[in-house]
Amino acid sequence: MHTAVPETPAVAVQLTGREPLFLVMNSRSGKQDSEATRQAIRTACAEAGRRCELLVVERGADLASAARKAVTLAREQGGIVVAVGGDGTLNAVCQAVVGQGVPFGVLPQGTFNYFGRAHGISQDTGQAMHDLLNARLEHISLGQINGRYFLVNASLGLYPQLLEDREEYKQRYGRSRWIALVAALVTLARAHRQLDITLEHGGRHERLRTPTLVVCNNALQLKHIGVDPALPDNRDHLVALASRPVGTGALYLLLLQGLLSRMGEAENVISFGFENLTVRPNARPRMVEVAVDGEILRMRTPLTFRIAPHVLPLLIPRSAPTPEHP
């Protein structure tokens, strides 16, 4: 069962360029060799004259405690907390960082790395370390679901099943985008239940039957699948994506359109931007499975989504453009 974290206001953070680094590393993330990654980190810090401490975990369940320890050390010693891993690892460490007044850095190690790529962070560890040690600070906005922050997306229905099957295929055959695609094709071939939900946002109530609902906080992911929803103003928004009830053939077509960056053209796709959204299952199950940045959680309904403006003090390369919002 998921326990919501309280909303935390943004805390002002500044850099001196001399901060020690406390790195939380998931040794099982990504395709890269774990020891080579550690060595690249140590070498970059030594060459820059910066102190670093690696907190390496072997299990995802240990990430939260390691993140809390890293935050405590960073607060005591005026340091930076760095997450080393895929989007799920970055999410776990982020929960401990928000509101604590310490900068947050990332070294992407996963398969897709949408969060790092959206902020111009290299997937090469050596380059990412060089950029991190010379970074600038940008306070970015996060999504929230029932109080838990997310960096990329949160979803229910078919999408969590896609992620579970993808992880099983990765364990068997290795981590690559082609393996992820094959896993998706197998998942879509099965029969699926439709979600029967009511969406409440902007003073409106809308009943919807759909195989899946995805809430996105990543402009790069939306761009890659070809969705560009009209947003009412320049404020930060989350973007909801769903499809009308469709069969297996239509799901395959949606997948193809997404691969071709043309999902927004599909007549079965619904998308809209929002700041606050409540999702109520009409069958009223108390608990539902939700995928949050690739990790499957059980959450109590109703599900409440909101944008949390400028709460994460993220270190990004000096050459990176100002981050885009969905």
Over residues 274-299, the pLDDT tens digits come to 999 999 999 877 899 899 998 889 99
Give dist(CA 115, CA 90) in Å, integer: 9
Q: Taking residues 68-97, what's their average pLDDT?
A: 96
Whether 27 contacts 58, CB under 8 Å: yes
Task: Go through the domains of the chain in sequence order and give each one's CATH number.
Answer: 21-142+310-316 (3.40.50.10330), 150-309 (2.60.200.40)
CB 260 within 8 A of CB 227: no
Residue 81: band (very low, low, confident or very high) from pLDDT cuts 50, 70, 90: very high
* Rounded mean pLDDT, 120-149: 95
pTM of the model: 0.82
pLDDT at 225: 73
Confidence of residue 16 (pLDDT cuts 50, 70, 90): confident
Mind listing the pLDDT tens digit for each residue in 296-322? 899 999 999 999 999 999 999 998 877
Q: Which long-range contacts (CB under 8 A, 24 or more apart) does 222-226 make?
A: 222/326, 223/261, 224/258, 224/261, 225/257, 225/258, 225/261, 225/263, 225/264, 226/257, 226/258, 226/260, 226/261, 226/262, 226/263, 226/264, 226/265
- Rounded Cα distance between 88 and 28, Å, is 11
Q: What is the mean pLDDT of the chain?
A: 82
Using pLDDT thresholds of 50, 70 and 90, give the confidence band for residue 227: confident
Question: In this model, does residue 178 exceed pLDDT 60?
Answer: no
Query: What is the spatial distance between Cα 291 and Cα 186, in angstroms, rounded to a whole number?
Result: 19
Q: Which residue has the higher pLDDT, 255 or 71?
A: 71
* pLDDT of 4 over the 90 cut: no
Angstrom CA distances, 294 to 22, 78, 88, stand at 24, 31, 6
* Average pLDDT for 16-42: 85
Tokens of 85: 């891993």
How much is the pLDDT for 95? 97
